[in-house]
Chain A
């Protein structure tokens, strides 16, 4: 009897862990299948071009002010930090190049993706979640419309297209912010600053980090659409889908970024990232 009593809590504890692990694996499995379906449907005509353009406008154009403002702020802060550090070594002339490297290679892509996951990921999670719990997705299906293609694929494609474009916008805004901060301190001219910034950058500095944002766009779109499309539980479920969209997209972005940076180093040993 005492042995059985002692065994009981351990068994419950182990059961709890097993159940949690099972649910987590099931969730990741569901997300992976969902992602694979998105990829397959992206290449299976007909595509919803009108809806894709509408979503690119929503994801891209409507995010542009946020990206530009953030880019200006990030660029000027980076510039100020760079100056305080490089001054110690008498290397102030390296500020434009250092800023360009930092922005183009890492800060631009990652900050853009995190901002988009906050603005767009939450929106997609909430919108699709709201449509799910109010039977609007069922209504779409009942009207002989493939809701997955119409709602999910269009949003993922929009994210994949918009995030790289927004990243370029962030890079230039960051450089502009850096220039404003630098010119306020040292009176550096526009032509000198941008010349110094771009001279040291080569093809492999620009392209791989920008292309990796295609993956970021896919991650944001797929994760938030998955959570919204499968939302349950009324208003609470919609809120949960929205919050989790941001949380999981951000975590995936940060983790996958490490893998992609390593991968790009592998492809371009000279330091493509």
Chain B
């Protein structure tokens, strides 16, 4: 069976926390094998969108489909199966701080494959090498820099070769060089594995490097959607200013 052309589809999705509406009637689609960047000011529902895709949050209204399957009303077992095909790089990397970096990467392999210890270790080292952390297998997460932690988080997210990779603020707190390196890793993943990327960022240079398409969220609504050029020409002043004000850096 061929992969559906739409990796992710939101249909009129709304999400509130108490009386605070975070997403209001949002519809968007992400084509398989493309990089989709979510932009917007802080607190406009970008990270919530990622968590809805992964089933970490449930939509109050509307539907969320992943690889053509509606996951809105999935139970925890069904979500577990869906998540095996999704990787998630959290803003803080969210590495398990009680185990080594290598064991963090090996963790999903131990859970979801029947490979032996030696093979898993070998594979984890290979994945760490791809993100430039081949020598850090036995290091503890607390001993890594911010950029290294992000890369380790990326390695863990990639361990089970997901078809969809969700990335929350890959450049947050990183210097421009490390940020560019992370962006390049993401582009390589998309190109070499034909993975679908959904990236949340405030960093416009980074977004430009990564994105095939972009969406701009404001106050829980999808204000604009399109290519970089289309957002630069958006009818909404806020979108144009956002794209412009961040251009220098």
Q: Which residues of A pack against B, CB within 8 Å?
A: 130-131, 134-136, 138-146
Nearest Cβ on chain A to B72's Cβ, whole angstroms: 17
When C-beta atoms are compared, the residue in chain B nearest to A145 turns out to be B111
B138-178 toward A: CB 8 Å interface, digit per residue (1/0)?
00000000000000000011000000000000000000000
Determine the chain A residues whose CB is within 8 A of the CB of B242 once the complex forms.
none
Instruction: Select A138's contact among B90, B107, B112, beta carbons within 8 Å.
Output: B90
B85-107 toward A: CB 8 Å interface, digit per residue (1/0)?
01110111011110000000001
Would you call A144 and B92 a contact (CB within 8 A)?
no
When C-beta atoms are compared, the residue in chain B nearest to A50 turns out to be B110
Would you call B94 and A143 a contact (CB within 8 A)?
no
- In Å, the complex CA distance between A130 and B86 comes to 24
The answer to whether B121 has its CB under 8 Å from any CB of chain A is no
Chosen A-B contacts, 10 in total, with CB atoms closer than 8 Å, are A136-B97, A138-B90, A138-B94, A141-B54, A141-B56, A141-B83, A143-B107, A143-B108, A144-B80, A145-B80
Determine the chain A residues whose CB is within 8 A of the CB of B56 once the complex forms.
138, 141-142
Determine the chain B residues whose CB is within 8 A of the CB of A143 once the complex forms.
83, 107-108, 111, 156
Known contacts A139-B88, A142-B88, A143-B107; A134/B94 CB under 8 A: yes
- In Å, the complex CA distance between A130 and B84 comes to 25
Determine the chain A residues whose CB is within 8 A of the CB of B192 once the complex forms.
none
Determine the chain B residues whose CB is within 8 A of the CB of A134 once the complex forms.
92, 94, 97
Would you call B83 and A139 a contact (CB within 8 A)?
no
Determine the chain B residues whose CB is within 8 A of the CB of A142 once the complex forms.
54, 56, 83, 86-88, 90, 157
When C-beta atoms are compared, the residue in chain B nearest to A140 turns out to be B96
Q: Which residues of B pack against A, CB within 8 Å?
A: 51, 54, 56, 76, 80-81, 83-84, 86-88, 90-92, 94-97, 107-108, 111-112, 156-157
Instruction: Select A144's contact among B95, B96, B108, beta carbons within 8 Å.
Output: B108
Nearest Cβ on chain A to B167's Cβ, whole angstroms: 12
Instruction: Select A146's contact among B76, B91, B95, beta carbons within 8 Å.
Output: B76
Would you call B94 and A136 a contact (CB within 8 A)?
yes
Would you call A146 and B80 a contact (CB within 8 A)?
yes
Nearest Cβ on chain B to A173's Cβ, whole angstroms: 30
Nearest Cβ on chain A to B101's Cβ, whole angstroms: 14
- In Å, the complex CA distance between A263 and B96 comes to 43
- In Å, the complex CA distance between A131 and B96 comes to 8
Determine the chain B residues whose CB is within 8 A of the CB of A141 once the complex forms.
54, 56, 83
When C-beta atoms are compared, the residue in chain B nearest to A142 turns out to be B88
Determine the chain A residues whose CB is within 8 A of the CB of B157 once the complex forms.
142
Nearest Cβ on chain B to A192's Cβ, whole angstroms: 49
When C-beta atoms are compared, the residue in chain A nearest to B82 turns out to be A144
Known contacts A136-B96, A136-B97; A144/B90 CB under 8 A: no
Would you call A144 and B111 a contact (CB within 8 A)?
yes
Nearest Cβ on chain B to A110's Cβ, whole angstroms: 31
Ranked 6 nearest A-B pairs via Cβ: A139-B94, A142-B88, A144-B83, A135-B94, A144-B84, A144-B80
Nearest Cβ on chain A to B104's Cβ, whole angstroms: 9
Given contacts A142-B54, A142-B83, A145-B80, 5 further A-B contacts (CB under 8 A): A142-B157, A144-B81, A144-B83, A144-B84, A145-B111
Would you call A135 and B51 a contact (CB within 8 A)?
no
Determine the chain B residues whose CB is within 8 A of the CB of A135 once the complex forms.
90-92, 94
- In Å, the complex CA distance between A142 and B91 comes to 14
Determine the chain B residues whose CB is within 8 A of the CB of A130 once the complex forms.
97
Determine the chain A residues whose CB is within 8 A of the CB of B156 once the complex forms.
143
Which of A130, A131, A135, A138: most chain B CB closer than 10 A? A135
- In Å, the complex CA distance between A144 and B160 comes to 11
Instruction: Select B90's contact among A131, A139, A145, A146, beta carbons within 8 Å.
Output: A139
Determine the chain B residues whose CB is within 8 A of the CB of A146 once the complex forms.
76, 80
Determine the chain B residues whose CB is within 8 A of the CB of A131 once the complex forms.
96
Determine the chain A residues whose CB is within 8 A of the CB of B80 once the complex forms.
144-146
- In Å, the complex CA distance between A138 and B50 comes to 12
Determine the chain A residues whose CB is within 8 A of the CB of B96 once the complex forms.
131, 136, 139-140
- In Å, the complex CA distance between A142 and B84 comes to 8
- In Å, the complex CA distance between A138 and B51 comes to 9
When C-beta atoms are compared, the residue in chain A nearest to B90 turns out to be A135
Determine the chain B residues whose CB is within 8 A of the CB of A138 once the complex forms.
51, 56, 88, 90, 94
When C-beta atoms are compared, the residue in chain B nearest to A137 turns out to be B94
- In Å, the complex CA distance between A136 and B91 comes to 11
Nearest Cβ on chain A to B243's Cβ, whole angstroms: 29
- In Å, the complex CA distance between A141 and B51 comes to 11
- In Å, the complex CA distance between A131 and B81 comes to 23
Determine the chain A residues whose CB is within 8 A of the CB of B108 once the complex forms.
143-144
